Protein backbone atom coordinates (compact mmCIF):
# COMPACT_ATOMS: atom_id res chain seq x y z
CA UNK A 1 0.00 0.00 0.00
CA UNK A 2 2.88 2.35 0.68
CA UNK A 3 4.22 2.07 -2.87
CA UNK A 4 0.92 3.07 -4.43
CA UNK A 5 0.82 6.19 -2.25
CA UNK A 6 4.35 7.10 -3.32
CA UNK A 7 3.51 6.56 -6.99
CA UNK A 8 0.31 8.59 -6.83
CA UNK A 9 2.10 11.39 -4.97
CA UNK A 10 4.88 11.44 -7.55
CA UNK A 11 2.38 11.51 -10.42
CA UNK A 12 0.47 14.36 -8.81
CA UNK A 13 3.65 16.39 -8.28
CA UNK A 14 4.75 15.82 -11.87
CA UNK A 15 1.28 16.74 -13.16
CA UNK A 16 1.16 19.95 -11.11
CA UNK A 17 4.67 20.87 -12.28
CA UNK A 18 3.76 20.18 -15.89
CA UNK A 19 0.53 22.21 -15.75
CA UNK A 20 2.31 25.09 -14.03
CA UNK A 21 4.98 25.09 -16.74
CA UNK A 22 2.25 25.15 -19.38
CA UNK A 23 0.50 28.12 -17.80
CA UNK A 24 3.50 30.25 -16.82
CA UNK A 25 5.22 29.90 -20.21
CA UNK A 26 8.65 29.78 -18.56
CA UNK A 27 9.54 27.02 -20.98
CA UNK A 28 8.46 27.21 -24.63
CA UNK A 29 5.23 25.30 -25.31
CA UNK A 30 6.87 23.03 -27.87
CA UNK A 31 9.20 21.72 -25.13
CA UNK A 32 6.56 21.61 -22.43
CA UNK A 33 4.30 19.28 -24.42
CA UNK A 34 7.18 16.82 -24.74
CA UNK A 35 7.82 16.60 -20.98
CA UNK A 36 5.44 13.63 -20.40
CA UNK A 37 7.20 11.72 -23.17
CA UNK A 38 10.58 12.49 -21.64
CA UNK A 39 9.27 11.36 -18.26
CA UNK A 40 8.02 8.04 -19.64
CA UNK A 41 11.28 7.41 -21.49
CA UNK A 42 13.38 8.28 -18.44
CA UNK A 43 11.25 6.03 -16.19
CA UNK A 44 11.72 3.21 -18.71
CA UNK A 45 15.48 3.74 -18.71
CA UNK A 46 15.49 3.79 -14.92
CA UNK A 47 13.51 0.55 -14.83
CA UNK A 48 15.91 -1.15 -17.22
CA UNK A 49 18.85 0.09 -15.18
CA UNK A 50 17.35 -1.31 -11.97
CA UNK A 51 16.68 -4.68 -13.63
CA UNK A 52 20.27 -4.77 -14.91
CA UNK A 53 21.71 -3.90 -11.51
CA UNK A 54 19.49 -6.52 -9.89
CA UNK A 55 20.69 -9.16 -12.33
CA UNK A 56 24.34 -8.23 -11.78
CA UNK A 57 23.93 -8.50 -8.02
CA UNK A 58 21.74 -11.61 -8.12
CA UNK A 59 22.49 -13.55 -4.95
CA UNK A 60 23.49 -17.17 -5.17
CA UNK A 61 21.62 -19.50 -2.88
CA UNK A 62 23.53 -22.79 -2.61
CA UNK A 63 21.17 -24.24 -0.01
CA UNK A 64 18.11 -23.58 -2.18
CA UNK A 65 19.94 -25.03 -5.20
CA UNK A 66 20.50 -28.28 -3.30
CA UNK A 67 16.84 -28.39 -2.29
CA UNK A 68 15.81 -27.84 -5.89
CA UNK A 69 18.09 -30.65 -7.09
CA UNK A 70 16.55 -32.96 -4.49
CA UNK A 71 13.06 -32.00 -5.64
CA UNK A 72 14.04 -32.76 -9.24
CA UNK A 73 15.36 -36.19 -8.29
CA UNK A 74 12.19 -36.93 -6.31
CA UNK A 75 10.00 -35.81 -9.21
CA UNK A 76 11.93 -37.98 -11.67
CA UNK A 77 11.60 -41.00 -9.39
CA UNK A 78 7.87 -40.40 -8.98
CA UNK A 79 7.36 -40.06 -12.73
CA UNK A 80 9.42 -43.21 -13.42
CA UNK A 81 7.19 -45.13 -11.00
CA UNK A 82 4.17 -43.91 -12.97
CA UNK A 83 5.76 -45.09 -16.23
CA UNK A 84 6.69 -41.69 -17.65
CA UNK A 85 9.97 -41.44 -19.60
CA UNK A 86 11.83 -38.49 -18.09
CA UNK A 87 14.82 -38.57 -20.45
CA UNK A 88 18.41 -38.55 -19.34
CA UNK A 89 19.23 -38.97 -15.65
Answer for the pair 19, 32: CB distance below 8 angstroms, yes or no.
no
Cα gap 53→36, rounded to integer Å: 26
Domain boundaries, the chain: 2-58, 60-89
pLDDT tens column, 10-44:
888 988 888 887 788 777 777 777 877 888 898 89
pLDDT of residue 89: 54
Residues in contact with 35: Cβ distance below 8 Å, sequence separation at least 6, in sequence order: 18, 21
Give pTM, 2 decimals.
0.47
So what's the pLDDT on residue 58? 76
Compute the Cα dihedral for 26, 30, 36, 38 and give only its sign: negative
Amino acid sequence: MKHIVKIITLLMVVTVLWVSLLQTSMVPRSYTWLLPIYLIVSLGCYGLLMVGVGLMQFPTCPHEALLLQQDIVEAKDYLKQKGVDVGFS
